[in-house]
Structure 1
């Protein structure tokens, strides 16, 4: 595992943040949404699985589908169509009994949730007076701005670059190059902050951009990274 580096290596002008799992607390917001859907559709009537099992199975299946999506092996539509069918099938619910519209309801309710990671607003308040802030995300374009509005994050960011807008998915270096071009930033004056070693750290590295690996769970790894933090408040130590 690389030793976290919190010594500023250069002067940055543009900071690019990932959104889900970095600023916006996807797991907490998804958990609340899934529990609501479990009750709304009375999934407990089957008596064969708990709400905790429903949330856990969905999370594992959704993560696996996102990995396929990020490697361009399935489409956005396919991801949305199959995630609840596969979740409930795993729990013993026949496909014919999967509640109509449950995936659409999830997509509608989830981005209205507002949970963010600790110190998100405090750190962004500190950074926006010193840097130009942007977002770069693989999240679906139709819900990213709702998430930002719901969590009071919109005003912090000059540009919101999505994979759908750029035509590429992180970690493809072309998405980062698109972001640099769109924002007028140079790679050597830019810094990428994200939670995903492959999508955020490796993708930025391949585009010549320094990286901050946000690793709140202190996962072991052997990646060569520029900086590593376990809490967003640590950004203030070197930015």
Structure 2
């Protein structure tokens, strides 16, 4: 087993439980903006449609086909359009309300803090590489008591590129003073985290809590963060 020194983590869907936090936020917004008044969709249907639309928009954003502002401005318009809500009737502040409320949620995956304490106690240097928006990611870290674990927090905005572009990983290596052979990337996305790290010469841990079947070659695979202790 290699002697790693630097561990790079993804944030959303890896440490910070995006789905759980988004679910709580969307339920709040459904009630706050009285979306039930439209009469033809439940809160669960609203959440399901939002998830579909948001994932599609994020794929476009990661492919550099839309901007951050475009993603934010159209996600609720497109979600509610699925229920025949005219654009002019979409609550004007709902996107900003979501952006403000979501990062204040604090749910993390099981064993998150315990494992980070363990890794820090064993002398590993911990860093983050995230495609998330800088203004939002820093609030998430603070809300979930994660900020102090990480020496370098590398976002797509500060690096000028998005995972899986190898340049964001190279930027992270440079920022942290790490070399690729002594580094390990932990993330939930086979393309952004695993393939991106592989192309930069970095070993990978694929975090797969739902145990999805795949044919990708990964250095390690785990379904629970606690399994990192067996690797490190």
TM value normalised by structure 1: 0.96
Q: Does 1:121 align with 2:117?
A: no
Task: Please list, as runs of the form range in 1=range in 2, the aligned pairs for 1:49-198 lying within 5 A after superposition.
Answer: 49-130=41-122, 131-198=124-191
- Post-superposition offset of 1:96: 0.5
Aligned residues: 231
Q: Does 1:222 align with 2:215?
A: yes
- 1:44 pairs, out of 5, 25, 36, with 36
- Post-superposition offset of 1:137: 0.1
SS in 1 for 2:216: coil
In 2: Cα distance, 1:151 partner to 1:209 partner: 27
Structure 1: gaps of 5 or more residues: 1-8
Runs of 4+ deviating beyond 2 Å = none
In 2: Cα distance, 1:91 partner to 1:66 partner: 21
SS in 2 for 1:19: coil
> What is the RMSD of the two structures over their aligned residues, measured on CA atoms?
0.5
- Post-superposition offset of 1:92: 1.4
Q: Which has the higher contact order (CA 8 A, sep 6+)?
A: 1
In 2: Cα distance, 1:237 partner to 1:91 partner: 47
Structure 2: gaps of 5 or more residues: none
